[in-house]
Amino acid sequence: MKISNKIIERHGLKIDEYKKIKLLLEREPNLLELGIFSAMWNEHCSYKSSKVHLKKLPTKNKYVIQGPGENAGVIDIGDDDAIIFKIESHNHPSFIEPYQGAATGVGGILRDVFTMGARPIALLNSIHFGEEKNKKTKNLLNGVVSGIGGYGNCIGIPTVAGETKFNETYNENILVNAMAVGHANKNKIFYSKAKGLNKPVVYVGSKTGRDGIHGASMASAEFDENSEDKKPTVQVGDPFTEKLLLEACLQLMKDNSIISIQDMGAAGLTSSSVEMAHKGSLGLELDLSKVPCREENMTPYEMMLSESQERMLIILEEGKEESAKKIFDKWDLDFKIIGKTTSSNKLILKYDNKTVADIPINALSTDAPIYQRKWEKTKLVKNKKLNNIKKGNFKESLLKILTSPNHSNKKWITQQYDQMVMGDTILRSGSDAAVIKIHQKNKAIAVSVDSSANYCNASPQVGGKQIVCENWRNLISVGSRPIAITNCLNFGNPENKKIMGQFVETIDGIKEACEYLDFPVVSGNVSFYNGTNKKNIFPTPVIGGVGLVQNLNKVIDHRFKDIGNEILVIGKTFGHLHQSVYMNEILGINDGLPPEVNLKNEKNNGQIIMQLIDNNFVRSVHDVSAGGIILSLAEMSMSSGIGVKIARPNKLSNIFEYFFGEDQSRYIVEIKKEKISATIKLLDENNIFHETIGQTQANNFSVEKEFDESVDKIYKLNNTWFKNINATIKK
Amino acid sequence: MKSSVIVFPGSNCDRDIAVALEKLQFKNKMVWHKDSELPKSDLIVIPGGFSYGDYLRSGAIAAKSKILNEVIKAANKGCLILGVCNGFQILIETGLIKGALLRNKNLKFINKDVYLKVNNTNQFCKNYKNGQIIKLNIAHNEGNYFTDKNHLMEIKENNLIAFQYCDEKGLVNDETNPNGSLNNIAGILNSKKNILGMMPHPERMIDKIISNEDGLNIFSSILN
Amino acid sequence: MKFAITVTLKKDVLDPQGKVVQQTLQNMGMDTLVNVRQGKYFEIELNETKEDVAKNLIEEMCKKLLVNLIIENYTINKIS
Amino acid sequence: MKFAITVTLKKDVLDPQGKVVQQTLQNMGMDTLVNVRQGKYFEIELNETKEDVAKNLIEEMCKKLLVNLIIENYTINKIS
Ligand SMILES: Nc1ncnc2c1ncn2[C@@H]1O[C@H](COP(=O)(O)OP(=O)(O)O)[C@@H](O)[C@H]1O
Ligand SMILES: [Mg+2]
């Protein structure tokens, strides 16, 4: 078949890129080869627009065993225990088919983690939908949540944390990011690098069908009116098979059979085989006639580009074929030797004894295009003075926020996730971070995912920094020491200078915070082209962090514990309202700058909270984030049923600025009377700003002269939005 | 005391159950579903999970496995059998416990802590006080127990309900019923009372650091 | 030979799925709706030329696996 | 008026349920079995005497609620 411009375009390749392919091959590619190039050279696999910028991120501290570049990042948590984790996006597939899109997103990220030898122990997700009144929103929400739950519940890994946000910017492009966290022995970690010649290359797992052909290209293509046509490419997940694959792989990993192993994710057999060969500077020869197929008459093109789920590629030590096969037989999974490693540095594909593709590995990896895309700085909009702010109604404002979808109780979602399977979940969803015990040990990890699209849109640099800090605060608030993060960078079209600028500046912000806090990036994912017809989404970096709890008795949460305790705010309140929930949702204003983060204060305040927890001075801790002090207090009350009595701010500050302001680096703590003086002494000695704002009390949530309602009532109000959702959802 | 935990492809609470049993010093063995022999056991546990993906009907396919024939034989000889969640669904599909487990009334998977009222007139609940309110965790799609009128009569007359969903104070009504289960049934015995099927997971409540210890008494009741 | 099998809940068994579907449709304004029952559907292909042998086998499949006779009914139709 | 609706997965879409059912039946010794696909079945009763109005409504139900058109096909039959 002659390769026409139309065919090139349909493969998501630019004409210049096609010219480069011809140069590298020194001839025209055939259709199969073109398909392979298109899969490897697209944004999703090649990182061609992001690579030069991602390099700037800090990736090391004393805990890091493996940073970016492998299937997932690895950190050392002592006693030979390693934690392996990564986050990944499945945005476009989830918009097209929310259940399967989200489910296969979970399945995919799980494989990234267990392919490295870890048993997955926790799942998280960050999901962003359009505004409430968009008619697709509720159905998408319902489908995505069932899909995430459907997969995680069935495979038996607890889904323990996440975030759910609604914003008009996602009306035509939702975000579904899934994170998986696994536990491994640090001396038994598996990598994708191939080694040795003539080693058997083995295909295991499900059979290959026509699922998701061109999925990887689709994930990198902007939506347009015709995206409906791309629907048949959506893959279907089978968590049952993944469970079998997980157990079989972990069993095989116990002996020394595996040289290298790689999941088949985006671009399936193509990317997994190229990745293994490239990392090992070897060639691979595969016989596609041997690939287990689900449908009849599948072509080599289909086999190489299929994104059927629940498959892995393994390079085995010679002589281990029999024993390895036995394991996969036990779990009723396909096991097929489909090729061998070679010294040729080429990917050679055979079918029916004919060579059907012959491509230098480098052409697909190192020689893939890398772009220094043009970018421009985001124009910052100065804060305008807010004149009418004094006229607001405090009570109505708070109630409106409590009943808005963004700040509603997310129980409707989290009850659809099994959070307790595996028996190690100490803190579940609803906490600042989830805490998962390391099985049968006296230590735990804390995990959290966070994003703040409004902040990032107003100032990508400040937003990038803020989101890392918020994640750090969440991990600290449950009694852990933050160790490292993964990140999923969801952006619009990188060929647009403004968007590229958002990307570059976000990375600057993330980098600055990570460096200062010694909180490196060990893995991540970039999702570009989120948007439709030139309307791009707000820049939405999502940070997934992991912290370590050394002593299980120090795990703490944000639920008030008793009546009559003092409530302190740690960190200074200036009353920054621009880009806050109050300005956005109550005043309907969406401009100005997000609150700045002072990294020095961030670190000091965080460390003092760790110390307060360590000294058993505090009964509950909650970070102050979106919605300010008042929303944080309400959350502490609603989760515990215990009320508060809060005084008006004593200085001249405006009550809205004071209670709804979103200044950074703050925490609320609950302290028993007898621990107050010791606490204050410690805070003063360390020059930490603090103020006592009130006490816990029975039944009522009250703010002097402004608000007085039973906790019960605000709890009910906080649950109404989701309670009313069922009636309107497509089944 | 010797126990066996049956493991099917897709079981995922097998480890959790084993941890609970071992905590109480049961000598426990894991038994793979393809095995045709069952180790000598005083207690057989069929754990939760998604055996065979819960495809067709939850529990239906596991109920056809080889090892289930052995379980049925043991059951008929009076061996104690505990089925939790998917294990309960499997017991239902084998007919060892009568009735059916339908989709939850809200058609959603439900994971939450629930209060249960205990009826202690059986070997599995001896160590609870009668009428005691305990808190366990449920996590299922199909826990909506249903049976016919005659069987319901038998259940009531013979005290076969082991657990009922209720609230903190022990109130049993529609509001405290998470899944639509008939008479708020959360756990039920066969007529000989040597088999207990229950939707809530006792093995998730065996450690104060993680949750509470309300599940321990089921295992300890069996011990003596 | 190919058969279609439909499996439905018996009349006096509560059908939570059907009920929710029905409510949702009614909420969507479909007022003439009287009742919805939901069931399962199988298409089974056999390598068998004798119709009676095939039918017997399908019956057996239903009884032994596909149908929970305590709560479900079934019907079998030959489609090709 | 009463309709039967069958909803099946499109041809190339993975059917994990059907696959497991098929394997189980084969393990039970049913060797002539070639293929199983599983789908959904609905029986819907309408209070409507005009057949075309009824059919249109059922079509609408399928498209708006019962069927995931991205991965499923459906057929409608009048049963009474
Ligand atoms: N935003 C990011 N920050 C750090 N590392 C990243 C980022 N995005 C991708 N990476 C790293 O680049 C590598 C390739 O990513 P990806 O293609 O998503 O992995 P996979 O092939 O497992 O899907 C991974 O090691 C990943 O951790
Ligand atoms: Mg990977």
- A88-98: pLDDT as tens digits: 999 999 999 99
Q: Which of A134, A43, A154, A47 is nearest to A92 (CA)?
A: A43
Q: Cβ of C47 and D64 within 8 Å?
A: no
φ, ψ of residue A224 in degrees (nearest 5): -145, -175
State residue D80's pLDDT score: 86
Q: Which of residues A512 and A232 earns the better pLDDT score? A: A512
Q: Is D38 on the interface with B (CB under 8 A)?
A: yes
Inter-axis angle of helices A628-640 and A394-402, nearest 10: 60
Q: Which amino acid is at A649?
A: P
Q: Residue A693 above 50 pLDDT? A: yes
Q: What is the pLDDT of residue B122?
A: 95
Mean pLDDT, rounded, for C8-36: 89
Rg of the Cα trace of chain D?
A: 16
Give the residue from A161, A238, A243 showing the smallest Cα distance to A207: A238
Return residues 698-727 of A near C (CB < 8 Å): 727
3-state helix, strand, coil in chain A (%, to 5): 40, 25, 35
| Tens digits of residue pLDDT in B55-107 | 999 999 999 888 999 999 999 999 999 999 999 999 999 999 999 999 999 89
- What are A377's two structure tokens? 């700085």
Query: What six digits make up the tokens of A136?
Result: 């697709």
Are the beta carbons of A511 and A57 closer than 8 angstroms?
yes
| Structure confidence by residue, pLDDT tens digits, B41-50 | 999 999 999 9
Q: Report the C-alpha dihedral over residues C68, C74, C78, C80, rounded to 10 degrees.
A: -60
The CA-based dihedral angle spanning residues B108, B110, B114, B117, taken in that order and rounded to the nearest 10 degrees: 60
**Among A473, C38, C53, which residue's Cα sits nearest to residue D30?**
C53
SS3 A445: strand
The first and second tokens of residue A198, run together, are 């003539």
Structure tokens at B140: 């299922």
- Span A114-127, pLDDT tens digits: 999 999 999 999 99
Q: Are A236 and D70 inside 8 Å of each other by CB?
A: no
Which of A108, A129, A136 minimizes the C-alpha distance to A120? A108
Closest to D70 in 3D by CA, of A566, A620, A101: A101
DSSP C3-70: EEEEEEE-TTS--HHHHHHHHHHHHTT-TTEEEEEEEEEEEEEES---HHHHHHHHHHHIIIII--TT
Residue A653, pLDDT score: 78
Phi, psi values for residue A722, rounded to 5°: -75, -30
Residue A731 pLDDT class (50, 70, 90 cuts): very low
Band the pLDDT of A729: cuts 50, 70, 90: low
Contact C65 B102 (CB under 8 A): no
Residue C12: band (very low, low, confident or very high) from pLDDT cuts 50, 70, 90? confident
Are A165 and A128 spatial neighbours (Cβ–Cβ below 8 Å)? yes
Give the model's confidence band at A728: pLDDT under 50 very low, under 70 low, under 90 confident, else very high: low
Q: How many CA atoms lie within 13 A of A597 on its CB side?
A: 32
Cβ atoms of A312 and A206 within 8 Å: the answer is no
Task: Judge whether residue B173 has pLDDT over 90.
Answer: yes
Distance (Å) of CA C65 to CA A452, A663, C58, D2: 51, 62, 10, 28
Q: What percent of chain B has pLDDT over 90?
A: 95
Question: Which pLDDT value is given to residue A219?
Answer: 46
Q: Is the CB of A169 under 6 A from ligand 1?
A: no
In total, chain A counts a number of residues equal to 731
Share of chain C above pLDDT 90, in %: 71
Mean pLDDT (whole number) for B162-179: 97
Element (H, E) at A180: strand A175-185
Pairwise CB contact (< 8 Å): A234 & D71: yes
CA-derived radius of gyration, chain B: 16
Rounded Cα gap, residues B200 and B164, in angstroms: 10
The phi, psi pair for A308, rounded to 5°, reads: -55, 145
Distances, alpha carbon B40 to alpha carbons A45, A281, B70, in Å: 54, 55, 11
Query: What DSSP element (H or E) covers A130?
Result: none
Q: How far is B113 from chain C (nearest CA, A)?
A: 23
User: For a pLDDT cut of 70, what percent of chain A falls above it?
Assistant: 96
At residue C72, what are phi and psi to the nearest 5 degrees? -125, 150
Residue B160 distance to chain D (closest CA, Å)? 33
C-alpha torsion A273→A276→A279→A285, nearest 10? -60
Asked if residues B49 and B13 have their Cβ atoms less than 8 Å apart, the reply is yes
The answer to whether A469 and A517 have CB atoms below 8 angstroms apart is yes
Amino acid A231: pLDDT: 41
Instruction: Find the closest chain C residue to B108 by CA distance.
Output: C17
Asked whether residue A389 carries a pLDDT value surpassing 80, the answer given is no
Nearest-neighbour CA in chain C from B87: distance (Å)? 17
Q: What is the pLDDT of residues B8-26, one digit of tens each?
A: 999 999 999 999 999 999 9
Strands of B80-84's sheet in order across: B27-32, B2-7, B43-46, B80-84, B195-198, B185-189, B161-166, B110-118, B133-140
Structure tokens belonging to residue A479: 């009694």
Q: Which residue has tokens 């903190």?
A: B168
- For residues B28 and B4, the answer to whether their CB atoms sit within 8 Å is yes
CA distance B197 to B190: 8
User: pLDDT digits over A642-661, tens only?
Assistant: 999 999 987 767 899 999 99
A723 or A484, greater pLDDT: A484
The pLDDT, as a whole number, for residue A384 is 83
Q: Which residue of B has its CA nearest to C68?
A: B93
ipTM here: 0.91
**How far, CA to CA in Å, does A238 sit from each of A142, A205, A241, B49?**
19, 11, 6, 15
List pLDDT tens digits, range A144-183: 999 999 999 999 999 999 999 999 999 999 999 999 999 9
For the stretch B122-151, what's the b/e string if a residue is b when 16 or more beta carbons lie within 10 angstroms of its beta carbon?
A: bebbbbbeeebbbebbbbbbbbbbbbbeeb
Q: How would residue A727 be classed by pLDDT, with cut points 50, 70 and 90?
A: low
Supply the DSSP symbol for A101: H
State whether B61 and D21 contact (CB < 8 Å).
yes
Partner D contacted by B64 (CB < 8 A): yes
For chain C, the structural domain boundaries read 2-78
Task: Please give the full DSSP string across A212-258, using - where no structure is assigned.
Answer: TTTHHHHHTS-B-GGGGGGGGG-----HHHHHHHHHHHHHHTTTT-E
Q: Give whole-number Cα distances, A430 to A111, A448, A467, A557, B137, in Å.
A: 26, 11, 18, 10, 16
Mean pLDDT of A19-45: 94
User: How far, in Å, CA of A246 to CA of A111, rounded?
Assistant: 8
Q: Which residues contact A310 (CB under 8 A, 6 or more apart)?
A: A107, A111, A205, A206, A237, A238, A241, A242, A245
Question: Is B56 near chain C, with CB under 8 Å?
Answer: yes
pLDDT of residue A151: 97
Is there an atom of ligand 1 within 6 Å of A70 CB?
A: yes
What's residue A227's pLDDT? 47
Of the residues A523, A527, A543, which should be mutated to test ligand 1's pocket, given the most ligand atoms within 8 Å of the CB?
Answer: A523
Look at residues C40, C45, C46 and name the one whose alpha carbon lies nearest to residue C74: C40
D2-78 fold: Mth169; Chain: A , (3.30.1280)
**Which helix or strand (DSSP H or E) is residue C2 part of?**
strand C2-9
Give the number of other Cβ atoms within 10 Å of residue A318's Cβ: 11
Give residue B80 CA to ligand 1 midpoint distance, Å. 51
Q: How far apart are the first and last CA of chain C?
A: 6
Q: What is the CA radius of gyration of chain A?
A: 26
Chain A contact present for B210, CB below 8 A: yes
Q: What gap in Å lies between CA B171 and CA A531, rounded to an integer?
A: 51
A298-307, A401-410, B186-195: least confidently modelled range: A298-307
A722 touches B: beta carbon within 8 Å? no
The number of angstroms, rounded, from the C-alpha of A68 to the middle of its chain's C-alpha atoms is: 15
Band the pLDDT of B35: cuts 50, 70, 90. Answer: confident
pLDDT computed for residue A546 by the predictor: 98
Whose structure tokens read 């017991």? B91
Amino acid at B32: W
Topology (CATH) of B2-223: Rossmann fold (3.40.50)
Distances (CA, A) of B8 to A8, A710, B45, B67, B183: 48, 49, 12, 10, 30
* Per-residue model confidence (pLDDT) at position C17: 87
Q: What is the pTM of this model?
A: 0.94
Q: Mind listing the pLDDT tens digit for each residue in A551-575?
A: 999 999 999 999 999 999 999 999 9
Residue A1's pLDDT band (cuts 50, 70, 90): low
Q: Give the pLDDT confidence of A214-238 residue by residue, as tens digits.
A: 654 544 455 444 444 444 457 899 9
Just list the catalytic residues of A.
44, 90
Closest CA to B24 of B209, B194, B217: B217
B203 part of the active site: yes
Nearest to B12 among A421, A440, A552 (CB): A421
